[in-house]
A and B are shown apart, each in its own frame.
Chain A
Amino acid sequence: MVMWTRRSASLSHWLATRDRPAPADGGAGARSGRAASLVPAASISGRALAVIIAIMTFLGSLTVGAVDLVRTAAEDWTASIVREATIQVRPVSGRDLAADVRRATEIAVRFPGVADVSPYTAEETRRMLEPWLGTSLGAEDLPIPRLIVVKLTDDRRTDMTAFRNALAAEVPSASLDDHRQWFDRLRAMARAVIVVGLTIVSLMVATMALSVVFATRAAVETNRPVVEVLHFVGARDGFIATEFQRHFLWLALKGSAIGGLMALAAILVSGFVAARWRATAGGDQIEALFGSFSLGSTGYAGIVALVLLVTAVAAATSRWTVMRTLGAID
């Protein structure tokens, strides 16, 4: 105290030797070192919010992974379907079925854009129907159509209409199925899955944003005395909002990164389990439907994008909420 009394006279010297700082500074200058947070971290219910964000990001990432899996599988199915067509030759009374099959095969082989033609023999057709008809019934006694599998080099170079007309002109009992109907159905299904997935992810992000709104409002209310002091020392609302935003940005980054990593781990474990089951009947079905059950690069990119999106939305939401709350305080 004595020291202070002696030095109080020096205050005038301190004041006289220093320039008055410019008051209209923008309040966003760089600082050296790590300044203490103006909003006490303990005053924000951070752990609960980080857990909510982690769970939302985990579920969202699984959805993104599932959408990517279905999209990739649908693309694979589509690619194999559009590279194939099937000629069906029906048995018609008065016509030689074997001759019609030969003639249709010749037309197909000569047609531009056709890479390979494989007619099913009578024996192959019988074996194909064996699971349904059994071995006792003679397939040759039934009017069963014969199939010719046509592999296309590139579906864009094959004029399917001309192909269909050429067949109809010489083999009236033949019809060409270019699998367009299946292709359209698959494409519609894949689109529906993507739309549903994106809707689910959007709802999850919206729920997370609402959680951030409530947490931010509570944080501003809890820190009302801090906000008042910051206003008294000349802080603009934007400066105060940045202080809160910094907290929520870090919380969201932590939560979303944990959620994203957990989802990646879950997908990797699922792929590993699916690989172990590959030899079983169920595993074969899964592989037939979803391929190797592994995420492609777009899936990984989607999860990383979701983590960044969640972080950005949380930061922007907290800033918007602080600005609105401060506006209401005034």
Chain B
Amino acid sequence: MVRFENVGLRYGLGPEVLRDLTFGIDPHSFQFLTGPSGAGKTSLLKLLFLSLRPTRGLVTVFDHDTARLSKDELSVLRRRIGIVFQDFRLLDHLTTYENVALPLRVMGKDEASYRSEVVDLLDWVGLGDRIDAYPPILSGGEKQRAAIARAVIVRPEMLLADEPTGNVDPPLAKRLLRLFVELNRTGTAVLIATHDLSLLDQVEARHLIIRDGSVAILDPRHGEDGGW
């Protein structure tokens, strides 16, 4: 699904923030991306989300070499990836319903064809009574669930979540994690970037540990299979 081969990334003429990354993300897999602050988690997520192109090496997403894709082709490829931001990135002038339906609207779907689907999903994530509410009046947990609903509404093949539990209390964090596990069981590959160690213990999954721009892979099921 995703392959990184000797990938390096630098911003402008600065030093490399990511070095010699070689790893893959398989379909239906579940993994955590962890590491200290400033280690390069966000930069790696941006590469995975096609928001940045590597300065060297090869990044292949859904069998496409991202370096060879046009901007519009990257946009279309991005529709197969869901992303949940730490700061939610909901549009304040749209209702919860309109925010969640945004990816479908961007794809040109007729509203009549997805309205019930969006309402059902909002109902299932507990925002059924907040459909017409605007993000500024939602609580942190509600915003987080709206952001997750927006990411999963198109049933992405891969879901990336950046500190999805960073702004919520531990019980809600646990529930959100269960949501990601449910999503993974239906076939979506999931990658959660977090430095919340308690979260890592709750799911037996592969760990991509990033430190000083390099990645090590730790799989609790098979032991460490990569190193710095």
Contact = CB atoms under 8 A, between A and B. Distances in A.
Interface string B44-80: 0000010100000000000000000001100111111
Contacts of B157: 20
B84 to A, nearest CB: 10
Contact of B112 (A1, A19, A32, A36): A32
A5 B104 CA distance: 26
Interface of B: 49, 51, 71-72, 75-80, 83, 89, 91, 93-95, 98, 102-112, 117, 120-121, 123-128, 141, 145, 150, 152, 154-155, 157, 172, 175, 178-179, 182-183, 185-186, 188
Nearest to B152: A15
Contact of A26 (B104, B108, B150, B155): B108
Interface string A1-44: 10111011111101110111111111111111101101010000
Contacts, number: 142
B182 A12 contact: yes
13 contacts: A4-B127, A8-B182, A11-B124, A18-B155, A19-B155, A20-B157, A22-B107, A23-B76, A36-B93, A36-B98, A38-B102, A234-B106, A239-B106
B137 to A, nearest CB: 16
A contact face: mostly helix, strand, loop, or mixed: loop
Interface in A95-129: none
B103 A237 contact: no
Interface residues of A, number: 49
B120 A27 contact: no
B93 to A, nearest CB: 4
A4 B121 contact: no
Contacts of B110: 29-32
B contact face: mostly helix, strand, loop, or mixed: helix
B134 to A, nearest CB: 11
Interface in A284-330: 327, 330
A4 B71 contact: no
Interface of A: 1, 3-5, 7-12, 14-16, 18-33, 35-36, 38, 40, 225-226, 228-239, 327, 330
Contacts of B75: 231, 234-237
